Chains A and B, each alone.
Chain A
Amino acid sequence: MFIMFAAGKNMARTKKDRHIQKAPHFIGFLPQGIQKNSGTEVIINFEEYEALKLCDYELMTQAEAAILMNISRPTFTRIYESVRRKIAKAFVEGSGIQFEGGNVAMMHWYKCTNCKISFSLPDASENSCPFCKSADLIHNI
């Protein structure tokens, strides 16, 4: 009982997967004209990249973008604030930016937890893992 209590206290709730339409097709940015980089790179998660893209590039409202990413509006605002602060930090301090990680589910891609792979399904009727043929997939719409 005590162990359960302690574990429950220290463990953060697992984050729900945020849906993203497309990952960036490059891995990051480097500042120009500095001799030595500061050593600290700013890491932007894929969900943060997606939040910034939906809001400031595709000019959606936060509520619309939140629905598309399958998260609540307050959560969206939190992610959006976080990415803006990270970008400001990189700009001011002249550090590089790297896109990495996050709790995301790519649209139109599927995951097999057994084989630890992600894959596309060219034939929608065939709903199984290409390797182990298991139909137990994580489905991203």
Chain B
Amino acid sequence: MIVVIATNENNLDAEVALHFGRCGWYCLYFKESQTTEFIENIDRDKEEKAGTAAAEFLLGKNISMVVAGRFGSKVVNIFRNNKVQMVIPETSKNIKEIINQINI
């Protein structure tokens, strides 16, 4: 299972980004091997459809869950249609905390 966590920095202490489409980095967490990989969000400065571009790029990696502070309405539709689970933490959390919760 691959979980994507939206964040603004490329380290494990960084907090979950407030917006999925406009965040700086995506942290991919591979649950089986317990490894992480950071991918820069190259679409973040697009005027329009930054989230859509990012969502389509990530879908190519066969992800099954996305964690971010907020999702735009187009992104919500894309993830719903592709059966990807979206998770919104209610309090601010860093990547390590999210990974610990996934592993419970």
Residues of chain A touching chain B, judged by Cβ–Cβ distance below 8 Å, are 22, 25, 109, 111, 115-123, 130-133
Contact = CB atoms under 8 A, between A and B. Distances in A.
B84 interface: yes
Given A131-B102, A132-B101, A123 B83 contact: yes
B104 A130 contact: no
Contacts, number: 43
Nearest to B18: A27
Interface of B: 65, 72-73, 76, 79-80, 83-91, 101-102, 104
Given A25-B72, A130-B65, A119 B101 contact: no
Q: Is the interface of B mostly helix, strand, loop or mixed?
A: mixed
The 5 A-B pairs of least Cβ separation, nearest first, read: A122-B83, A131-B101, A118-B88, A119-B87, A116-B90
B104 to A, nearest CB: 6
Nearest to B3: A130
A121 B85 CA distance: 6
B84 A122 contact: yes
A130 B87 CA distance: 9
Given A25-B73, A119-B86, 13 more contacts: A109-B88, A116-B89, A117-B90, A118-B88, A119-B85, A119-B87, A120-B76, A120-B80, A120-B85, A122-B80, A122-B83, A122-B85, A130-B87
A100 to B, nearest CB: 13
A136 to B, nearest CB: 15
A119 B88 CA distance: 6
Contact of A130 (B79, B83, B85, B90): B85
A118 B87 contact: yes
Contacts of A109: 88
A119 B66 CA distance: 10
Contacts of B90: 111, 116-118
Contacts of A123: 83
Contacts of B101: 115, 131-132
